[in-house]
Structure 1
Amino acid sequence: MEASLKLYEESHLIHAFIVPNYAEPEGLLRDTIKRLANHRNAQTNYVIILAMEASELGHGAKAESLAEYFKDSFLHFITTVHPADIPGESRGKGSNVSYAARVGCSEMIRRGVDRRRVILTISDSDSSIPELYVHELEKSFNQADDPYFLLYAPPIFFSRNCFDVPAAVRMTDITWSAMVMANLSNSRGIAFPCSTYSLSMVLAERVGFWDTDSDSVGEDMHMMLKCFFKTDGMARCQPIFVPINLTNVQTNGYMSNMYARFVQAKRHYNGIADVSYTLRNAFGLPATTKSKKSSMYASPTFWIDKLIICIKVLEAHMIPVTSGWLMFAAVPLMQFVLFPPHPMVAVVDPADNPILTSDFYATLWNIVKIITVFLPFPLFGTLAIYEYLHRFVDRELYRKQKSESRSWRNCFDYISLPIAAWLFMTIPSTIAALKRLYKTNDQYIVAEKFFDEERA
């Protein structure tokens, strides 16, 4: 352990934290950056790239205030201002991150920083990044066969204000966290980062930084997909098993808080654009002659990986939009069709109904009904594991008292799961999928996050 810590203290790597934000409370940004300033190597190895939006009223004063507050806390503190009128761009986190990365990397190189030493970490404005994450990131980077082809992804965690939001909001984010953790377990490195993640400057430059068009709304998943396809399958996702603590969407008032989470869910599910992007790049016509040649001679393993990544993207975006309707409507609808309440609405004549005339199909129908009852059980098992993990992380990593973490009383939160599933998954994902058919660019609305600076 002492040798490991000594290696970290003598690190030669430069960590550039890109903090994109738009209309976020200054107190929240100060708290997020202050947590990084408390790391032991912050003054010698950390660079903050504060990514502001030109369209935000008062962004300049906010940036100057933060730069002055942290002027002696980091190796460099760089502020970028993303213009609002760049042709062809879709407003959102992706375009802001792309601009900040390009400008920030150019500025670091101008100041004499070696690009091969730089690791870019994309942080949300509310990401609480522990020092252990940076330590484990460096450990993975130094042990990797080729660290310049890896995206480093931690699990996400919601524990900063979880007891200040409605149970349905709390359960939505808990379920989201559990799914992200499950996604990171892929042994082939085909997984997707969420919210906060890291990659080398070398890889970011190789793939042309982040995309900024309407196909790249889900910037975290999209960047992994872009790296995978631009490197002919060499780029992989490396999990870093240190959770990043985030803030639940929070506003004043119960119903307004529920609505704010619904708005955030709609924005998240606009990432369905990645379905067409993935299928087009995996099986469509290559954009250049060079990529066409490489596709022709791609190894069988690469084709298997492309198939896997397509399945995982479809899983991430198609299950939310279909599962609710299938679980709650499929069996009742089939019951209505096969066993109508009145002969006038009969679609299938009883004499031709295979379930009534064949023992085999009758047994098959009963099996289908039984399976639908047990479909949620894998999710319940995953959430049971998460419950234990949540309390363990609160206690061991964040040093919270037992009274400050989840307890057996929070098991009653699960009563709100049906509400959370419909309101924050099925309905917003359905809206996003339908809207994608006729409107590829949407207004970017940031979910409100209340922050009590005195309490923090």
Structure 2
Amino acid sequence: MTSSISPSSDNLDGGADPAKLEAANRYIRWNLLFLLAIFVFLVFPIWMPFVPGVNQVTNLVIIIIIGLFQLIWLIATICAIRRTVVINRRTKLRAVKAQDVESSDAEASASSTVRHVVAMTIYKEPMSVLQATLDSLVQQKDAASRISVIIGMESGTPEKEAKHDEVYARYKGKFLRLIVTFHPSGVPGEIPGKCSNMNYACRRGLEILRQDSDYGYEKYEHIFTNCDCDAVFDPEYMLELETEYCKLDDDDRHSSIWQSIIIYKRPSMPFFVDITGVLRTFFFMGVLIPWNINPMSHYSLSVKLLEEGAFTHPAYQMEDIIALIRYTIVTRREIRIRPLNLTSINGPTSGANFADEIREWALQVRRWTIGAGEVFHYFIVKTYRMPSACLSITWATRFFAYYGLVLCASPLFSIISPIFVQLASSLVAPAHDRLLVSDAVFQAMCFIFLGTQYVFFLIATILVRWNLPVPGDGGNSYNKGLRGVMRGLMHWVLMLPTILAYSLVELYSFFELAFRGKNVCKHNAASKNNLVLVKENESS
């Protein structure tokens, strides 16, 4: 059975007060505090060499700060190695011991009262991208009898009726229910983008399922998966998700978000897109999940938690970055991110030519950064509703450490500050004694830290390129062979300049958010026109 909602359907409650949102201050926002903290880190080497007394400890302070950044990388690396080992252990058991998989199958199948709802949104993306996602869902166990799919289109989606008809023509009967909604434009208090579209699609789609007498909604427990339209799921994603879900008691089930490890991949990528994808996968395993910061791209949770958390906020642009903290605040209980020990694929940015690739890459970094700044503002405004002050402080610290320091301040500080301090000390600042760390020791320590940073980069490269299984790729053909090894090593060398460029775009974006305020918080969809996701059984 299939269902669709026409653009003329009555609008649903967006879950936000439009008048309150419109009245909110558009410029004096808490992301200014986020920027101030980053700025404090970056200006240390500028003023310290010129202040009498303080200049004696300049070398020591710089070394301590860079050392702390390296400690964060060390912790992230250990976490990423552990997650890679667990994923490969599961993959090996699945391949070598079929009985273990059959046992897992039986455990999940025994819970016949569980059904899945998968929602995605689409705007200007080509149908080939959406088809890759839907095809990977068709491969899931019992898709036709246990998985319902909701596709949210915007009212302004180009050729939306043709896309609507094509979806039904290709996938009719392949899912338990197939629902297409059309999100109306110009709703007060909303901003265009995935958040508002997903919010509408979820509310409308679940309403349709509840009203469907043949479906019998109340008889089942539902797990919801939020995904991008360019996601490719492991064939056992739903099986693994349901197995992990059923291991928990009722309270934990509805206080958890499940996240697979996402690999960003397409057949051909410029080095900066490829490197960014490798680092993002590394940070999935090393930071976002173990530090319980936020899910990303596609993730799963119970429908009960989705509804208690008021779905997605239609006035924010990054529904994944805001998800964990929003559900924690609205439900007033701690929400945990739990790993799924398998990988999924998301399409990275794409462009028609090299210049366009740079533009799309920078725009995506800008979107992530502005989204993180807006989430921090949302958190501060709502922090009084957090379950405890301790949780507020620890989450804010982890969030700032990742988005403020690891992604923005630390690369700039670690490279630029030693150069500036040495120039200032030798050319401008008066001679003075150094406390504990002489100039010679300072230079040696900086080179050691540069070396350890490249060791971390190398480990990240090895883990992501050559140790993670890739769905439908028969073993990650993109990185195989002599060409794949040489490409990987060359991109390893280029990691530092890439992450420096990433940090500069982030810093610019934080300043743009500070000066332009809420006006800059719009979700301009990334181009997918040149994106071709990995095809199943791709030759290696």
TM-score grouping bracket, smaller chain normalisation: 0.7 to 0.9
Matched, 1:400 2:501: no
Structure-1 residue corresponding to 2:413 = 326
Alignment RMSD (CA, Å): 2.5
Q: 1:157 to 1:115 in 2, by over 3 A?
A: farther
Q: Distance in 2 between matches of 1:305 and 1:336?
A: 42
Matches within 5 A, 1:341-352: 346=428, 348=429, 350=430
Deviation at 1:154, TM superposition (A): 1.4
Matched, 1:436 2:522: no
1:236 aligns with one of 330, 336, 343: 336
Structure-1 residue corresponding to 2:447 = 373
Q: 1:22 to 1:368 in 2, by over 3 A?
A: farther
Q: Distance in 2 between matches of 1:91 and 1:258?
A: 24
Matched, 1:30 2:109: no
Does the 8 Å CA contact 2:113/2:219 hold for their aligned counterparts? no
Matched, 1:108 2:209: yes
Structure-2 residue corresponding to 1:166 = 270
Q: 1:359 to 1:29 in 2, by over 3 A?
A: closer
Q: Distance in 1 between matches of 2:220 and 2:447?
A: 53
TM-score when scaled to structure 2?
0.72
Structure-2 residue corresponding to 1:155 = 261
2:524 aligns with one of 440, 445, 449: 445
Deviation at 1:365, TM superposition (A): 5.3
1:303 aligns with one of 389, 407, 413: 389
Q: Which moved more, 1:328-337 or 1:165-174?
A: 328-337
Q: Distance in 2 between matches of 1:331 and 1:27?
A: 49
Matches within 5 A, 1:378-393: 378=453, 380-381=455-456, 383-393=458-468
TM-score when scaled to structure 1?
0.85
Deviation at 1:267, TM superposition (A): 1.3
Q: Unaligned regions of 5+ residues in structure 2, if any?
A: 1-99
Structure-1 residue corresponding to 2:493 = 415
Matched, 1:74 2:180: no
Does the 8 Å CA contact 2:409/2:503 hold for their aligned counterparts? yes
Q: Deviations over 1:381-428 (max 9, x none)?
A: 265255245333347x545257543442121112322342233x2122
Structure-2 residue corresponding to 1:211 = 313
Higher relative contact order (CA 8 A, sep 6+): 2
Q: Distance in 2 between matches of 1:304 and 1:453?
A: 42
Q: Which amino acid aligns with 1:30?
A: Q
- The runs of at least 4 aligned residues of structure 1 exceeding 6 Å deviation read 453-456
Q: Unaligned regions of 5+ residues in structure 1, if any?
A: 341-345
Q: Which moved more, 1:228-237 or 1:309-318?
A: 228-237
Structure-1 residue corresponding to 2:114 = 13
Q: 1:22 to 1:316 in 2, by over 3 A?
A: farther
Deviation at 1:78, TM superposition (A): 0.5
Q: Which secondary structure does the structure 1 equivalent of 2:117 belong to?
A: strand
Deviation at 1:195, TM superposition (A): 0.4
Does the 8 Å CA contact 1:116/1:200 hold for their aligned counterparts? no
Q: Which amino acid aligns with 1:393?
A: L
Identical aligned pairs, as a percentage?
18
Matched, 1:178 2:279: no
Structure-2 residue corresponding to 1:143 = 247
Deviation at 1:360, TM superposition (A): 2.4
Count of matched residue positions in the alignment of Structure 1 and Structure 2: 420
Structure-1 residue corresponding to 2:188 = 87
Deviation at 1:86, TM superposition (A): 0.7
Deviation at 1:368, TM superposition (A): 4.8
Q: Deviations over 1:157-182 (max 9, x none)?
A: 123x1x41111210111111111211
Q: Which moved more, 1:315-324 or 1:31-40?
A: 315-324
